[in-house]
Amino acid sequence: MLFIKKHHPRYLIVVLALLSIALQSCLGGAASDYQSVTKGTHGAIKVNVDQAAFQGRLYFTLDRNLYVLNGKDKQHPEQLTHGIEIRDPAVSPNGKWIAFTILYKDYSDLAYMPATGGTPKILISGQGRYEPNGANAPISTAHWFAEPSWAPDSQHLIFLSDLYKNWAIGVNAFLLDLQLYRVDINDASANTAQIIAYSVYGDGGLRDPAYRPGHPNQIVYTNYQYDSTGTQQQIQIMLQDATIVQQDLAQNPQNPVYHPGAYAMGNYPSVPITPGTPNLANLEPAFSPDGNRVLYLRRDDATHMSMYLMGVPNGVTSDPNNQSFNPGSAANRQKALVPYGHATNLMTSQYLSMPIWSPNGQQIAYIDYTNQSFDLWLAKIVKDPKTGKYSIDPQSKQQLTMTTGGDFDADSRPGWAP
């Protein structure tokens, strides 16, 4: 407790300074300067132009419009699209392109454009129609696209879609769960899109796809499925060889080993790197730029989310020196879960979503829910030189945007380019 003489100016200054420091400590950093930069549906959208230091360009969506914020000029975010509903911007590794989806009432389009802005080019349109189907429900030829992610060559995209939705083995219904596809941006169409990873019929599909940096044939994604009872959902992060499904289709075109599952995963080529415990949700993986670590979220309960960091298991998706290698073997699956047992909890909050890494691997951006609003935050990742463990520098946590009423689209992953 601090005792002072009342009304003494010098002591009053000291007290005010101490209170200021204490307040800054509680807020996780120095006081911030928020300036209005644009208008949203619900009022002014502000950006922290004082303390939220970062390098490169951050892409995100406000009211479904695409914006880019340059670390050198945080006071002037640039609006890149107008009048179309944009989701999930993804910057190519070479920094030249940005891919995204455009959402409509009954379908979506897969598109991209220069990272500096311009007219979007539609790679694949999901527009369709309803066709008669006898006594059954009409058939929809429309399609949905979501969460594009770039291949290392900046010429190919992986993305989620319900293409091939009539391919449901043993089930007389349409497979609406999103699966993972790959397409060449120079030759993109529904016919040239290649299936990369399958989902379980009726269980929720896949989310959060990405290539692993430094490992061009490895992909990660979140898989949604139910347990053997059909009542408890399992949400797991999966690692997979990105080429194995296409190799299987080339070798076994009439009777492929791998295919969409009917109520069960079956003999899938993917390897879980988080456990399949019922009602345990591990999701939204994000690789570090070197590909050796992965950020992800864990749903603790209805009102708490935690952000974790763990290493990435090696040698669990394929073995070029072992023709009989089985990624689904019990021993391999056990090996793949070892890093999960050493994961570090970086932070816990009410609602966290969409973590991403800075290009230099020193910072992360993520969406958090504070003051009844979702906003973009920044933080520094630090490594203890003695223990080798990673953590968040608590003084580095800074709120970058200040919006109200849902103007910041928390369901749309941001992108970060150098």
- Of 404, 413, 414, give the one whose Cα is nearest residue 45: 404
Tell me if 166 is assigned to some domain: no
Note the pTM of the prediction, 2 decimals: 0.89
- Of 122, 59, 48, 6, give the one whose Cα is nearest residue 400: 48
Q: What is the pLDDT of residue 131?
A: 85
Tell me if 9 is assigned to some domain: yes
- Are the C-beta atoms of residues 167 and 260 closer than 8 Å to each other? yes
Tell me if 286 is assigned to some domain: no
For CA atoms 16, 17, 20, 25, give the dihedral sign: negative
Tell me if 362 is assigned to some domain: no
Q: What is the pLDDT of residue 18?
A: 40
> In order along the chain (418 residues), what is the average pLDDT of each group of 10 residues?
41 40 42 73 77 87 92 84 95 97 96 96 95 81 95 97 72 74 96 93 91 96 89 93 94 85 66 92 97 97 94 93 87 96 96 96 95 92 92 93 85 95
Question: At residue 281, what is the residue type?
Answer: A
Tell me if 7 is assigned to some domain: yes
DSSP label at residue 104:
-
Q: What is the pLDDT of residue 51?
A: 63
Domain with 21, as residue range(s), is: 1-31
Instruction: Name the domain count of the chain.
Output: 1
CA distance 84 to 81: 7
